[in-house]
Amino acid sequence: MQFETSTDTTRSGLASDPQGPSSLVVDWNATVRMEVLPADPGAQGGGIRLRTTYEKSMASVRSDTFDPAAAETQQQYHKLEGKVVEFMLDADGKVKSVMGLEGIVDSEKAAQSARDWIAHLSASAGAPPGGVSLGQTWSSEQPADTLPIAGLVWRTDSHYLRNESCRPVNPDVPSAPVAAESPTNAATNSHAASDCAVILANLNLVHAKASRDLTPPEFRKNGVQSAGKWTGSAQSLLYVSLATGMVVSVTQSGTEEMDVTLTSNHNTSMHYAGKIASRSQVALVADDSHGK
C-alpha cells in the first residue's frame, strides 16, 4: 500500500500558529498480511472478520517550515509495524468496526489511515444486489461523518468499463515468469495471467439534502458551531478478479478544498482553509510462503 497526502492550509483565530507549517506531505508505505477469520457467532447481520498484521509500515513527513512534530508523526506510523488489527465488515463489505488500534497510534490521522485502506479492497461496497454486468453503471452514497460540516456524503458513480488481464502490481516486472524470477516477483505477478473487471469510479462530496444547519451533532453537543464549505472529488480505477471476486489493485487520486470557521459558545473561533491532495495505491500480492 502507498498513500501520499499533501496538505496546504492556513489557520487563524484561537488555534493560530503563524510559524507552523502551511504545507505538509505525508507518504506512508505498508505491507499487510490478511487472514479471514471465522464469523463471530454473536454478531448480528453476518459479515466477515479480517485479521491484519502490519509486516511493514514506514512513513516520511516533509513540510515547508521546521516542524518538530514530523519525527513524532513518522514514529506513529512506524509503531504499526508488527501490530495486529481486526476489522469487521458488514454484508455489503463496508467496515463497521475496528479492534486493536488502541494504544498503537496516538494521531487520529494515522488511525484513520489504518482504517481507510481496507475500504479499497471491497469491490462489492455500493454495488447493486446480484452483481453487475459489462457496461453497467451504478451509484452509491456514504456519509462523510468525519468532516466538520454536516449533511455531506461521498457520492460514487461507477462504470464497469471492460475485461482485461489483471494488471501486475509492479509494472516494471514482466507479467510472464522468467528463468531468473524471484519467488517474490512470481507471487506478485501471479494475478497477471487471469482476467479482471476494470471499474472506473468517480467520487464527489455533495450535500445529502438541503439544510441550513451545517453543524454536526457532536460539535453542537460540545458548544461549537460550524460555518463555511468543504468540497471534494476523486477518481478510482479498480481491477477485480473475475475468478475470485477479490480486488487485485486499486489506484485513487483526489482533492479536497475547505474554508471553515468553528465558533464556540465563548465567542472564540478558529478559521481553517486550504487544500488537500491525495494519491493512493493498494495492491493484492499473492503469498505462497505459508502454503495458502
DSSP codes joined into one string, 46-109: --EEEEEEEEEEEEEEEESS--TTHHHHHHHHHTTTT-EEEEEE-TTS-EEEEES-TTT---HH
pTM above 0.85, yes or no: no
Report how many helices (DSSP H) and strands (DSSP E) the chain contains, helices first.
4, 11
Per-residue model confidence (pLDDT) at position 125: 58
CA 140 to chain centre: 17
Burial of residue 227 (number of CB atoms within 10 Å: 0-12, 13-18, 19+): middle
Q: What is the pLDDT of residue 194?
A: 79
Q: Nearest CA to 231 among 258, 261, 203, 260?
A: 258
Task: Specify the pLDDT at position 169.
Answer: 47
From CA 240, how far away is CA 211, in angstroms rounded? 38
Give the chain's residues under pLDDT 50. 16, 169-192, 291-292
User: How many angstroms separate the Cα of 203 from the Cα of each of 134, 173, 206, 209, 237?
Assistant: 20, 31, 9, 17, 11
Could you say which DSSP state residue 127 is in?
Answer: P
Residue 9 has what pLDDT? 82
Extract long-range pairs of 288-291: CB within 8 Å, 24+ residues apart: 288/183, 288/187, 289/183
